[in-house]
Amino acid sequence: MRKRVAAGILLALIVASLLTVWTSKYGYAYQDREAAMAPATAQHWTGTDTLGRDRTVRVAAALLIGLTGAAAAAAITTAIAAAVGLLAAFSPAPVASVLMFVSDVFLSLPWLFLLMMARSLMPLTASPMQMALITFLVLAALGWPDCARAIYSGARELRSAEWMIQGRASGLRTGQLVRLHVVPHLRPLLLPQFLICVPAFIVAEANLGALGLGIGEPVPSWGAMLMELDNSALLAQSHWVYLPIVLLVLVLLLLETFTIEESHA
Amino acid sequence: MNRAKGFLRRAGRTLLLMLFVAAGTILLVRFAPGFFADEREMDAKYATSARNELQAAGAQTLSQIAVREVKGWAHGDFGESRQYEVPVTELIVPRIQVSAWLLLRGIFYGWLLALCTALPVSAVRRGAALWGIPFTLLLATPTAALATACILAETGGPVLVLALLIAAREFKFLLNALRGTWSAPHLLQGRAQGLPLSALIRVHILPGVAPQLYALATLSLVTALGALVPIEVIFNVPGLGQLAWSAVINRDLPVLVAVSLLMACAIGVAGMLSGQKQTLEAAA
């Protein structure tokens, strides 16, 4: 029940954001210098920022970019994790040890620190959209080790299942066994791993952005919008500055509710 | 004998992990765009010497860099910071104390808060979800946002943010671990015998979940170390997190490698100790 409510609200938010971005006459980068920090009006429902950009459009675009990027990165990370976990589970012990050791190397550094390090070493002259792509690719490239460990232990358990032994005795090759038996059985494990990654990546992007290492301006992102909160003069002028953080927490709560319910299902 | 062997194996693994972390960091930074750039190149007075130095540095292979770095570490020399132009050790040592004190207090208060809430909540049959709401809300708030909110509200500081983050992460794990223990037969007997609540918690409940708590403690450290960067940057705390952030922004390889090594060492040693503790518990 809670899962359906969470999914419904999330879907409504996505649809509303899409409509806002598509139907608004202001683009997310359009600057109306005459209306900088304007209050909420009929033209700008939630006012404008310091550069006169429509806040509603920017928040809606940040929600869409954040969700799409995080979901795509989560899909890539789950695919990498599945490949590494399955390879380790169905390879000889030395190969499995090496693969798990590599994942341990990634896990031996705090996630945000690792992200920050990798993200800061990317090209300096990339466009804002390329920066957004790089940020989510870095998230995807570094998020797999935890997930791979879970898939590895799940696949190892399956390897000694009776129906697997029968499949092997019937002459099925390892590739066929993995495709026909293991992957379908691992689906209940892969979906929660994917769902766990989505909010984690959104939070990571927001934290990176708040440190000045996230998606660059003028592309709107949660992290860049959190930086607005550092300016106390802005906060005194308009309460709409809090809108991004309120919406971000709401989206994360909905995603977590959905993930928890899905994991328990 | 077996215990010593196990300990040595774990120590060897931790050391190997650290070496790989260092190698990975060197590799990443060495190929980062802008690594072979020096602001002195803009100054006509120093441009030639800076360019010569960079050329010499660029001619070094990865293995040469790695060998030079490891040799330096063996002598306690972590090189010189590119941005501050002082030995890395001088930069790091005073900051370790600041960060360690922050981590210690943050983790302690976080655990205290999580444990004090999870213990009574795990005993009640209804309303546990209601108690979990503040922790779920905290979990859904990015660290940077939580720190900014504290500054805006002029309440609390880095320790409070770290403690809230740790409490939010550990509450659910602790609740799940503790929930089963209340209905365990030995605890029911203890309650039937009239043992006071404090004795039940001290003698039966906490020792029962101890192995899980040790594993959780390692995770707490990883979480806290990760949160250290945004917390120290936003609250302007002169600790390792802030140093790491400025090293990342300025591509300061020696500092970055030293901080990475320190973090990997802290996590490795904590993991090793929690593993050792669990083995000892199992043996007992």
Contact B251/A at CB under 8 A: yes
Residue ranges of alpha helices (H) inside B40-157 are 47-59, 62-74, 88-123, 128-139, 143-153
Give A157's contacts (C-beta < 8 A, 6+ positions apart). Answer: none
pLDDT over 90 at A132, yes or no? no
Q: Do B256 and A117 make contact, defined as CB atoms within 8 angstroms?
A: yes
Residue B88, pLDDT above cutoff 60: yes
Average pLDDT over residues B22-46: 69
Above 60 in pLDDT, residue B282?
A: no
* Residues in A 37-96 with any Cβ partner in B closer than 8 A: none
Q: How many residues does chain B have?
A: 284
Is the minimum CB–CB distance between B11 and chain A shorter than 8 Å?
no
Instruction: With beta carbons less than 8 A apart as the criterion, state whether A189 and A154 touch.
Output: yes
Query: How distant is the Cα of A124 from the closest Cα of chain B, in angstroms?
Result: 7
**Does the CB of A212 have a partner CB in chain B at under 8 Å?**
yes
For this complex, say whether ipTM is above 0.85.
no
Query: Token digits for A68?
Result: 């799409």
Distance (Å, whole) CA A91 – CA A100: 12
Q: What is the DSSP string of B204-241?
A: IIHHHHHHHHHHHHHHHHHHHHHHHHHHHHHHT--SHH
Maximum mean pLDDT: which of B69-73, B160-164, B244-248, B250-254: B160-164
Q: What angle do CA B189, B191, B193 make, to 5 degrees?
A: 70
Measured distance CA(B151)–CA(B254) in Å, rounded: 32
Phi and psi at B87, nearest 5°, equal -60, 140
pLDDT at A263: 67
Q: Which of A124-138, B82-96, B131-145, B245-259 has the highest mean pLDDT?
A: B82-96
pLDDT score recorded for residue B142: 86
From chain A, the residues in CB contact with B21 under 8 A are 105, 108-109
Contact between B65 and B26 (Cβ < 8 Å): yes
Whether the predicted pLDDT of B99 surpasses 60: yes
**φ, ψ for residue B275, nearest 5 deg:** -65, -45
State the Cα–Cα distance between residues A46 and A51, nearest whole angstrom. 14
Task: Identify which of A253, A254, A215 has the alpha carbon closest to the alpha carbon of residue A58.
Answer: A215
Tell me: pLDDT of A49 over 80.
yes
Q: A215 near A223, Cβ under 8 Å?
A: yes
pLDDT 10s digits, B237-246: 999 999 988 8
Q: What is the pLDDT of residue A124?
A: 66
Q: Which pLDDT value is given to residue A118?
A: 75
| Chain B residue with Cα closest to A251 | B140
What band does B37 get if pLDDT is binned at 50, 70 and 90?
low
Which of A231-245, B137-151, B231-245 has the least mean pLDDT? A231-245
Taking the model in full, what pTM does it have? 0.83
- B218-275: pLDDT as tens digits: 788 888 988 898 899 989 999 999 998 888 888 787 888 888 888 888 888 887 776 6
